[in-house]
Amino acid sequence: MKRVFITGATGFVGQHLVRRSSELGYALSAGVRDKARAASKLPAGIAVFPFDLDGDIDGAALEDCSCVIHLAAQVHLKKPTAQELDAYSTRNAAATAALAEAAARQGVRRFVFLSSIKVNGEQTYDRPIRHDDVPAPLDAYGRSKLQAEQALAEIASRAGMDFVVIRSPLVYGAGVKANFLALLRWVHKGIPLPLSGLSNKRSLVAVGNLVDLLLRCVEHPDASNQVFLAADGEDLSTSELLRRIGEALRRPARLFPVRVDVLERVARLIGKADEARRLCGSLQVDASRTRRVLDWSPPIAVDEELQNTADHFLRSLRT
């Protein structure tokens, strides 16, 4: 039986990945920051090891593992200090390199790294992002993910270990946090939003689809030493996304029109320019090569995962 070591196992994506991996019969080891918390987050029978992006790697966690799936990361900080900006590089790039070195020493065959589409930039205009586009990260998080990719590729090449990089856009699904959770709350509370009629297009990826892709990359021979982009394949405007969230929540999204330039001007005045860009701008991902090379298609439709997301959110309000 193949053993897989998963970092960030108690996180949003990690919990879904562990659950699905267990269902498929993988032997699992989990790297977590808090072992006590892991007991309530992970299925029984999984070997749990401490894993901290600032600490050393316990070599025992990688024994007999054929693959590492590295999810753990320092995620976005809204207004990072200079010290926190340095932490991106340390916790994302340096920690990935250290884990890759440890994996190579233990004879791990393949290292699958969850990166970010932010490696390619923040917005698209005339065409979607493609896998072979020149990286153009605009913030510290995106730069740290690119640094991690580059370090992994160098270490894997030197050690003869396969690597796979998956660049993902915004992930949604049951238990989602951060910006997507804010959208759920806005719609559920019936807050009027000046976002009607937006014609932008954004690629998303359902957590079930991302998990399926990660597991496809564990063993597929053509995944070796490749960079893949993840996406559902159905791009949505912010207006359409909010309307579909409302349908899933059984509460209509209360949208009204305001010109995009007005929204952006007001957002800059109140220090919310980045948030306005994400809501009003486009960020499209061309994942056709991923589908072709890996003979993969997303198993979950957008509306199905949105319903899963909404149902989990509503259950959380009752507990």
Residue 83: per-residue pLDDT? 62
CA 231: distance to chain centroid? 11
CB atoms inside a 10 Å sphere around CB 278: 16
Asked whether residue 1 carries a pLDDT value surpassing 60, the answer given is no
Question: How sure is the predictor about 181, in pLDDT bands with cuts at 50, 70 and 90?
Answer: very high
% pLDDT > 90, the chain: 67
Residue 275, CB-side half-sphere exposure with 13 Å CA sphere: 17
Q: Has residue 119 been placed in a domain? A: yes
Question: Distance between CA atoms of 204 and 209, rounded to whole angstroms?
Answer: 10
Asked whether residue 263 carries a pLDDT value surpassing 80, the answer given is no
Q: Has residue 179 been placed in a domain? A: no
Question: How sure is the predictor about 318, in pLDDT bands with cuts at 50, 70 and 90?
Answer: confident
Q: Has residue 18 been placed in a domain? A: yes
Residue 43: per-residue pLDDT? 83
Q: Show the tokens assigned to 290.
A: 């991923």
Give the number of residues written for the chain. 319
Helix (H, G, I), strand (E, B) or coil at 147: helix
- Top pLDDT among 266 and 137 is at 137
Residue 76: per-residue pLDDT? 67
Residue 82: per-residue pLDDT? 63
pLDDT tens, residue by residue, 77-135: 656 666 666 677 777 888 999 999 999 999 999 999 999 999 999 999 999 999 999 99
% pLDDT > 70, the chain: 96
Q: Has residue 80 been placed in a domain? A: yes
Q: Has residue 240 been placed in a domain? A: no
Q: Has residue 135 been placed in a domain? A: yes
CATH number (domain holding residue 95): 3.40.50.720
pLDDT tens, residue by residue, 22-81: 999 899 999 888 777 787 788 888 888 888 877 778 788 898 899 999 998 877 665 666
Are the CB atoms for 172 and 204 separated by under 8 Å?
Answer: yes
Range of the domain at 50: 3-171+205-232+286-299
Q: Which residues are catalytic?
A: 141
- Top pLDDT among 39 and 248 is at 248
Q: Has residue 37 been placed in a domain? A: yes
Residue 300: per-residue pLDDT? 97
CA 281: distance to chain centroid? 19
Residue 80: per-residue pLDDT? 63
Asked whether residue 284 carries a pLDDT value surpassing 70, the answer given is yes
- Top pLDDT among 92 and 168 is at 168
Report CA-CA distances (Å) from 80 to 75, 84, 299. 11, 5, 37
Q: Has residue 72 been placed in a domain? A: yes
What average pLDDT is seen over the chain? 90
Give the total number of structural domains in the chain.
1
Residue 273: per-residue pLDDT? 73
Residue 75: per-residue pLDDT? 79
What are the backbone angles phi and psi of residue 107, rounded to the nearest 5°? Answer: 80, 25
